[in-house]
Amino acid sequence: MKSSSNLFCGLVLSVLAPQAAFGAETRPNIIVMLADDMGYGDPHCYNPASKIPTPNMDRLAAEGQRFTDAHTPAAVCTPTRYGFLTGRYSWRTRLQNMVLWSEYEEPLIEPTRETVARVLQRSGYRTAAVGKWHLGLNFAKPGGGFVRGKSGHMNGAGGTREVDFTQPVQGGPLALGFDTSFILPGGINLEPHFWLQDDRVVGKPNVWRAQAAPTRAGTSGLEVHEGWMTEGWSDEAVGPTLTAQAEAFMTASAAMKKPFFLYFASQAPHRNCTPPEFARGKSQAGVRGDMVYEFDWSVGRVLAKLDELGIAKNTLVIVTSDNGAVPKSDEGDDFGHKSNGDLRGSKGGLFEGGHRVPFLVRWPGQAPAGKTNASLLVLTDLMATFADVAGQKLPPRAGPDSFSVLPALRGAALDSSARPTIALHSGAGQFAARRGPWKLIFDAKEKPAQLFNLDRDPHEATNVLATEAQRVGELQAELARIRAAKS
């Protein structure tokens, strides 16, 4: 799993040969920009009928590759972020369904777990996490120990009050291979509501934010959880603040003449949808559409900074999302916009709209420009892929669910022998198995329920479970093997 040389045989020998030439000065910078709930039908380059202008993602598609069969390992947020950073399915942890409902939870990534950041850090990369974390943090409890928040959604009620914000926060990015970080502890809607810079809270969280309360009258407070907030906090300023932090990290890294890895996890377009002034009304899809426009603006700022610093030619840029989209904006209307395109389903579910996501790759001199790539991949694959880029070998048992797809990033079309069966997971904790064009969905009792051939039936309209008994058995056995594997 760890090395493409074990997966692609002769193909890899030819495609990967230039990789060995990467030296300390020529290793590419790596930027991953992860949108929050951006669907397959949101960017114009994926959906010509999109009601949202996305000129910067369209530019990436023209200057690089647009992948059409890329997936998140889970159809909701926390498990996908865990999977990307560790190369390991989140259902192998204590989190068997849904997400963490506050950041006062025990960190989901163990301190000894190998991460993408550690792999690149060992190879001389300067590493940064900017944006939404949502993987649990150890906040100090007054009198000792760590705070533990609510374990369920509870409709946004049940905020945590007894927290010692003067102490360093443990178990976050700095403990997992990131040199520096500037993060939103959870989602834009989740408690607590403030910034963490490295391991310290920025400002004094002395304002109690009420459930469903917006930070400015007339804006959305949909799905906001009660909890501590710093005075003057503005939901509308989150995206621009994160973008400025990303630009500052890129500038500092370029001045140090070190390759860098930037994990930029945007808050947009997740509810509550609060686009900044410059983005309001830019789409025809309500405030959610305006936040997709805001994310695209952040992409544009990052690309412009690369051009300004003169390092665009040696930077691998990936833009994707943590899961599929919700179908409606905060106003309760879809405005005629299909956030997941013509895919069936939406965020949280096992139909394609829940986990098939935009995946754009620009890598000048390595990835072909203006190409569409139908190779199957999942975000857990980026760990092994980046290890290949950096010339690193993953330690034993690291990234157990990660397969290098570096040849695909360079334009190759991978088949099912290159990317074995993928285990997909829903918000409710149900599974699906995907190999080649075949996808088997299991019900809540873990019995095969629906089988689709996505080449012939991309909209998942015809369940062929009854006529493909052998295929069902094969995929059922594959999923059982994956789930039983030690990691």
pLDDT tens digits, 282-339: 999 999 999 999 999 999 999 999 999 999 999 999 999 999 999 999 999 999 999 9
Write down the pLDDT at residue 22.
Answer: 52
Look up residue 38 and give its amino acid: M
Write down the pLDDT at residue 404.
Answer: 96
Q: What is the CATH architecture of 28-413?
A: 3-Layer(aba) Sandwich (3.40)
CA distances from 127 to 131, 170, 208 (A): 14, 18, 33
Write down the pLDDT at residue 202.
Answer: 98
H or E stretch at 11: helix 9-15
Write down the pLDDT at residue 151.
Answer: 85
CA distances from 153 to 136, 182, 189, 225 (A): 15, 25, 12, 9
H or E stretch at 55: helix 55-63
d(CA 119, CA 176): 10
All residues at 6 or more sequence positions from 17 whose CB lies less than 8 Å from its CB, including other chains: none
- Same topology, domains 28-413 and 430-487? Answer is no
Would you state the structure tokens that stand for residue 48, as one six-digit string? Answer: 């010509």
Q: What is the CATH architecture of 430-487?
A: 2-Layer Sandwich (3.30)
Neighbours of 233 (CB within 10 A): 18
pLDDT tens digits, 124-139: 999 999 999 999 999 9
| Residues β-bridged to residue 209 | 227
Residues 413 and 406: beta-carbon distance below 8 Å: no
345: region left, alpha or beta (phi > 0 left; psi from -120 to 50 alpha): left
Look up residue 12 and give its amino acid: V
Write down the pLDDT at residue 269.
Answer: 98
Residue ranges in the chain modelled with pLDDT below 70: 1-25
Q: How many helices (H) and strands (E) does the chain have?
A: 9, 18
Write down the pLDDT at residue 418.
Answer: 74
Nearest to 131 by CA among 92, 186, 171, 178: 186
Per-domain boundaries in the chain: 28-413, 430-487
All residues at 6 or more sequence positions from 261 whose CB lies less than 8 Å from its CB, including other chains: 29, 30, 31, 116, 117, 120, 121, 125, 126, 127, 128, 386
